[in-house]
Structure 1
Amino acid sequence: MKTIKIKLTVLTALCLVLLLPTSCKKGFFDAVPDNLVTVDGVFQNRAQTEKWLTGLYASIPDPWDMPYNYTSAITCDEMDASNWTNPALNSGAINADANPSGQNAYYEKIRLCTIFLENVDHNEEIKALVNGADLIKQYKGEAQFLRAYYYWLLMKQVGPVVISPLKSATPEDNFQIPRSSWDECVAFVLAQITEAENNLPLNNYITGSTTDLDVTKAGRINKIIVGAVRSQILLYHASPLFNGNTELSDFRNLDGKQLFNQTYNAARWKNAADAAKAAIDLAEANGKSLYKATDANPFKAAFLSCRDLFWNGWKAEGIWLRSSTAISGSWEASAAPRSTQGTAYNGLGVVQSLVDDFRMADGSNINSNAAYKENTYTSTATDYYVAGTNTMYTNREPRFYADVTFNGAVNPGIAKTGANNARVEFFNSGTSGKAGAPRDWPKTGYTARKNIHPTFSMSPSVTVTRPAMLIRLAELYLNYAEALNESDPGNSDVLKYLNLVRSRAGLPALTSDLGQSDLRTQIRLERRIELCYEGGHRFYDVRRWKIPNQAGSNQGGAFYGMNMDAGTSLSDPNFHVRTVAFTRAAWQRKFYFLPYGQNEMDRNKQLVQFPGY
């Protein structure tokens, strides 16, 4: 028979190779194509080894990619996109067969990280470089950190996880592995990232320099990133869901092993505070700071600081960056109103409770400020809204105008021609209203505005390329304030770091007459506003605080907005009526976590499902 040589791309070949044991008996295949890439071949070649390393980063979620946000922002009390999709978590139909977790992708990357760690030392081409030994060390640190980080992402979704052996599997291995307890999972991940930290550079410097950053290495793991992730892990570990949670006393392995500790440990909050402060100090010592724009008008300066942070401020504030992001094709297109040039999709509806949580310009809440009214209309136009806008949207804090598009708002991007498109019209017959499109309208009468560049256009396509910030300094400030308020109430740093975030946003500083409980409320509200729509923070915060069924943070039941079925003009009072926009399933305890996929349950008979699924 004529021999046929099969040509495969490296990616295809790797996919094939990874289905097999990493070594085979001689003669296992009678004939192997002479250009088939093997694992051994990959790790003998520098370029292929570094491609493998690059691929290990691929499953880090893009916070501005809507498929990712479908399991976070639109399944919590931030947004809705139910004209397009309504995840099973919202209806209560979620089950192990329709599992939205990243389980399979994360375990795949975990295995690929392990294979990398087992083989990278064999690369003589890299070792022969002048800095070869240092490169090998760094690459191993990155892979070890990423392996631990994928476990952490999985833990946030499904709780205590199955931890695989730290070696690449073979068909003869025992895959019947029970879940480790939550505390064991945290200890494992922390130990892994600490070990990895020893092999990582302080920052992503140009080779041979200790001061000049290499922009081509943006997002590569370094000690500053490790410190920030450690802060997040320890903050969660101290929180009520994971710290003495007797509500989950029935969550056990088949042998009766308790998977959540039942005794509250106050020391965890101190550990979280110490880790957050260490991460802040390290970041600031290496030039990180809150991004602040300048303007003669303090309100405008605060607005620009919050709006422009995502394209001008990432160099100052970004701790961990994701250089590849779907901002334009996914986020901006989905959030911008139809009056945007080229007609955006206009469907990421912000819920009324989040709109209400944004403060007034003086820092007060809408319920305590006599100037807040929902039945009058302004005769004054500003840079943020036009004359005729309902006064419920006037005199609000700067972040409100950076993060929420409302009826009467100035268009967030490049508007179509015509005065009616320069402003946003969500009332029924308006340019972005329900009557004008079968599905592309927000059920709540608001759309998300954060991270839409003012030059954004659908057609012609105009976007400003920028990385996504996976972790930024403001998050670390809020981590520290929260943990310190729990571990050392009254410590002056609580107000200091909370007020740094508030002041950047144009709000007056809080004073020291607030007690621990009031400060806890303010810290949680600050996270709600400052981090809205970003990386699933709200989705996980309400769960770790155990408040998903409380008024003001309810994750089920009725959600409100304006009346999209009414209104023929900007100032029509029939539109500006609080109306049930959609209803989600009542909160159930099982919604604290996503299920393990049924495929994994069927394979691993030692794996217990989270109660309720």
Structure 2
Amino acid sequence: MKRIYPIFCLVLIASLFASCKKYLDVAPDNTGTLEYAFRNRNEAENYLFTCYATLQQFAEATTNPSFTTSGEIIYPNNLTKHPIDETGFNMLRGTQNSNNPGLNYWDGENSGKAVFRSIRRCNTMLENIDKPADLSFAEKKRWIAEVKFLKAYYHFYLARLYGPVPLIKTNLDITASSDEIKVKRATMDETFAYITQLLDEAIPDLPPVINNQAQELGRITQLIALSVKAEVLATAASPLFNGNPDYSSAQNKDGQKLFSSTYDADKWVKAADACKAAIMACEANGLKLYTFIPPAVITSLPDSLRKVLTIQNAVTEKWELNNELIWALNPTFDWQGYATPRMTQKSVVNIFSNPSTFAVPLAMQELFYSDKGVPINEDKTFDYAGRYSLKKGDQDSRFYIAKDSLTAKEHFNREPRFYASIGFDGGIWYGNGKLNLNDMYHVWARGIESYAGPKDINTLNITGYWPKKLVHYQSVYDDGFQQIAFRLPLIRLAGLYLLYAEALNEVNGPTAEAYSYIDRVRTRAGLPGVVDAWSTYSKNPSKFATKDGFRQIIHQERRLELAFEGQAGWDLRRWKELQSVLSVPMQGWNVYEAQPANYYQPRTLFNAIFGVRNYLWPIKDNSLIVNGNLVQNPYW
């Protein structure tokens, strides 16, 4: 029976099937010549790469829902010029709606967001994979596995945003009736079960790792698929989707309940098993937590800066040199200049490559631990009440804070991840062309008329904090720029360790094994283990000993270790904690004031707008009109 297939043409990836937005983009009225698309191995391989195309678009940070809506980074919305897509960042200000949803991955009306179209391409590939006569059996098995993974991941991406989605298991027949095209949503449990099934089918036929990195880095491996399976099952087990009472009334028009209202503890058991399987496979193939090895040009490096560079480079190191990186996408992270302060006089006029507008809110800065390894509001040795008072950089802190620089007291005695992740007024910025310990840049962020290093302000950074972690230490921003490219990780081993600790705690509560996996990450970050840190320094010394307390510790640990990597938005949603996080006003320092006493006054920029309904994206109103079998997400 004749099937419905897309026209194959790489040049037209972004514009194919523009007229196919009825329903779910599953029944295009354009048909192409399959004989050409699959006439031989080379053409079929080209089609395989079209299946990967939308996946690569997910690397775009400014249209990544997790990156832009987590509250980790805010972006000014009142600039004269608007060089980036601000849609995602503006959602924190309450712009999401069902008439014209922002970051609309359901309908795929914007470039790179046609996820259902990509699922259909994957189906086309699977239905025609037997046609190329010169395709070897081994390669065919691998390609089928890759495409099944892609189908699974595309469904997973939609599920994290929308909850239950229609499962596009096969392309519809060309003779399909209008009623058949109007598909309905599967239940949440059916959605996760199908995603997991596809991953299980794919894993055995994928290569463990990529051996030919020059030609194939970025293609799917067993380690990637196993790690994604762990994330899928952890998401299915989490409060947003596991017995969430907020969705108890959601149902299809035929009365089918879309969400189970009963909590299922066994889901966490499955998640823990999947995490352990992924970890064992990764370690068996040589993956381990990254440690910075100084190049020859760095002749002297104190331990404090070595820790900073270890943490930074766990994210910014080249994929082929980073033995912690499990998965990244091929496009490089192109926003380093947005995360970099202007630290030279010449960089002030370099507004195109060094706009410096990614701003970290005060609450995110204060989330990082003290150097004792506990939250600053729990550390009995930390002057939390006096954290906004002023203090000068001294000899002991000289590799973190410039000597004699007057800055906030809370910038002192913080964990290494704080100094690796956050750029702040008075803070040392090792790199940017200076590797001499006696001549390092530091950030000067006070006053609208000052200029960077020795005195710099980016008046467009509205908080006075930069996500330093997103900048390679060797990238240079001056009158021009020299950017050391890197790929932002999707999954790295540290995140997998913490996910396993989370799953273990949900299954059995605090255990020695769960402590050991979180402590692996903390040890690399230069911190004492959880038990020692809380027992010795916390005002709540037994917090780690209860399931609820240890859950809080693990959640904060993930937010710190994976800060600014596009992970927190997904985590905070699945935990049902994003509403609480965004209830805190978005604040920064009084950046237009030059005098320290006036600068170090918290200033509210805006109050984020986020309610229960915002945990899931709305389906566009018109899509519901066109397809009468679709139902809207709760509260929209």
Mark the CA change 1:301 to 1:333 in structure 2 (over 3 Å): closer, same or farther. Answer: closer
8 A Cα contact 1:558 1:583, kept in partner: yes
8 A Cα contact 2:59 2:329, kept in partner: no
Mark the CA change 1:191 to 1:561 in structure 2 (over 3 Å): closer, same or farther. Answer: same
Name 2:4's counterpart in structure 1.
none
Name 1:67's counterpart in structure 2.
62
Name 1:4's counterpart in structure 2.
none
Q: Find the partner of 2:41 among 46, 54, 60.
A: 46
Q: Distance in 1 between matches of 2:259 and 2:578?
A: 19
Q: Distance in 1 between matches of 2:15 and 2:66?
A: 33
Q: Distance in 1 between matches of 2:75 and 2:343?
A: 18
Mark the CA change 1:158 to 1:460 in structure 2 (over 3 Å): closer, same or farther. Answer: same
| Residue correspondence of structure 1 range 171-320 to structure 2 within 5 A | 172-173=176-177, 174-206=180-212, 214-293=213-292, 297-312=302-317, 314=319, 315-320=322-327
8 A Cα contact 2:308 2:416, kept in partner: yes
Q: Deviations over 1:446-467 (max 9, x none)?
A: 1111130122234533122333
Q: Distance in 1 between matches of 2:14 and 2:424?
A: 47
**CA displacement at 1:109 relative to structure 2:** 0.6
Q: Distance in 2 between matches of 1:82 and 1:155?
A: 30
| Residue correspondence of structure 1 range 452-463 to structure 2 within 5 A | 452-458=471-477, 459-463=479-483
**CA displacement at 1:20 relative to structure 2:** 11
Mark the CA change 1:334 to 1:184 in structure 2 (over 3 Å): closer, same or farther. Answer: same
Name 2:162's counterpart in structure 1.
158
Amino acid in the other structure paired with 2:66: S
Mark the CA change 1:73 to 1:486 in structure 2 (over 3 Å): closer, same or farther. Answer: same
**CA displacement at 1:503 relative to structure 2:** 0.8
Deviates more, 1:394-403 or 1:303-312: 303-312
Mark the CA change 1:576 to 1:249 in structure 2 (over 3 Å): closer, same or farther. Answer: same
Mark the CA change 1:311 to 1:92 in structure 2 (over 3 Å): closer, same or farther. Answer: closer
Q: Deviations over 1:350-370 (max 9, x none)?
A: 011110011111213222333
8 A Cα contact 1:298 1:506, kept in partner: no
8 A Cα contact 1:14 1:38, kept in partner: no
| Residue correspondence of structure 1 range 19-98 to structure 2 within 5 A | 38-60=33-55, 65-69=60-64, 71-83=65-77, 85=86, 87=88, 88-98=90-100
**CA displacement at 1:59 relative to structure 2:** 1.6
Aligned partner of residue 122 in structure 1, secondary structure: coil
Name 1:578's counterpart in structure 2.
602
Q: Find the partner of 1:400 among 418, 423, 429.
A: 418
| Residue correspondence of structure 1 range 364-443 to structure 2 within 5 A | 364-367=374-377, 368=379, 369-371=381-383, 373-380=387-394, 382-386=398-402, 387-390=404-407, 391-411=409-429, 414=432, 422-429=441-448, 430-431=450-451, 441-443=460-462
**CA displacement at 1:511 relative to structure 2:** 1.6
Q: Distance in 2 between matches of 1:290 and 1:479?
A: 15
8 A Cα contact 2:76 2:460, kept in partner: no
Q: Find the partner of 2:122 among 92, 113, 123.
A: 113
Q: Find the partner of 1:521 among 537, 552, 560.
A: 552
Q: Distance in 1 between matches of 2:9 and 2:631?
A: 38
Q: Deviations over 1:470-506 (max 9, x none)?
A: 2111111011000000101232110000000111111
Q: Find the partner of 2:141 among 114, 137, 144.
A: 137
Mark the CA change 1:318 to 1:237 in structure 2 (over 3 Å): closer, same or farther. Answer: same
Mark the CA change 1:57 to 1:90 in structure 2 (over 3 Å): closer, same or farther. Answer: same
Aligned partner of residue 349 in structure 1, secondary structure: coil
Aligned partner of residue 357 in structure 1, secondary structure: coil
Mark the CA change 1:142 to 1:42 in structure 2 (over 3 Å): closer, same or farther. Answer: same
Q: Find the partner of 1:590 among 601, 604, 613.
A: 613
Mark the CA change 1:351 to 1:61 in structure 2 (over 3 Å): closer, same or farther. Answer: farther
Q: Distance in 1 between matches of 2:445 and 2:240?
A: 39
Mark the CA change 1:511 to 1:81 in structure 2 (over 3 Å): closer, same or farther. Answer: same
Aligned partner of residue 226 in structure 1, secondary structure: helix
**CA displacement at 1:46 relative to structure 2:** 2.3
Name 2:535's counterpart in structure 1.
none
Q: Distance in 2 between matches of 1:86 and 1:389?
A: 37
Aligned partner of residue 560 in structure 1, secondary structure: strand
Mark the CA change 1:194 to 1:563 in structure 2 (over 3 Å): closer, same or farther. Answer: same
Q: Distance in 1 between matches of 2:173 and 2:480?
A: 50
8 A Cα contact 1:218 1:321, kept in partner: no
Name 1:560's counterpart in structure 2.
587
Question: What's the TM-score, normalizing by structure 2?
Answer: 0.82
**CA displacement at 1:136 relative to structure 2:** 0.9
Q: Distance in 1 between matches of 2:468 and 2:176?
A: 53
**CA displacement at 1:272 relative to structure 2:** 0.8
| Residue correspondence of structure 1 range 431-510 to structure 2 within 5 A | 431=451, 441-458=460-477, 459-510=479-530
Amino acid in the other structure paired with 1:285: A
Name 1:3's counterpart in structure 2.
none
Q: Distance in 2 between matches of 1:598 and 1:108?
A: 20
Amino acid in the other structure paired with 1:375: S
8 A Cα contact 1:177 1:607, kept in partner: yes
**CA displacement at 1:597 relative to structure 2:** 2.7
**CA displacement at 1:321 relative to structure 2:** 2.6
Name 1:362's counterpart in structure 2.
372
Q: Distance in 2 between matches of 1:9 and 1:236?
A: 34
Deviates more, 1:502-511 or 1:460-469: 460-469
Amino acid in the other structure paired with 1:504: R
Amino acid in the other structure paired with 2:471: I
Q: Distance in 2 between matches of 1:443 and 1:454?
A: 23
Provide the identity percentage: 30
Aligned residues between the structures: 564
8 A Cα contact 1:413 1:452, kept in partner: no
Amino acid in the other structure paired with 1:310: V
Q: Find the partner of 1:149 among 131, 153, 166.
A: 153
8 A Cα contact 2:56 2:331, kept in partner: no
8 A Cα contact 2:318 2:487, kept in partner: no
Q: Distance in 1 between matches of 2:149 and 2:35?
A: 23
Amino acid in the other structure paired with 2:362: Q
Name 1:324's counterpart in structure 2.
331
Q: Distance in 2 between matches of 1:581 and 1:415?
A: 33
Name 2:537's counterpart in structure 1.
none
8 A Cα contact 1:361 1:507, kept in partner: yes
Name 1:125's counterpart in structure 2.
134
Q: Distance in 2 between matches of 1:492 and 1:279?
A: 20
Amino acid in the other structure paired with 1:266: A
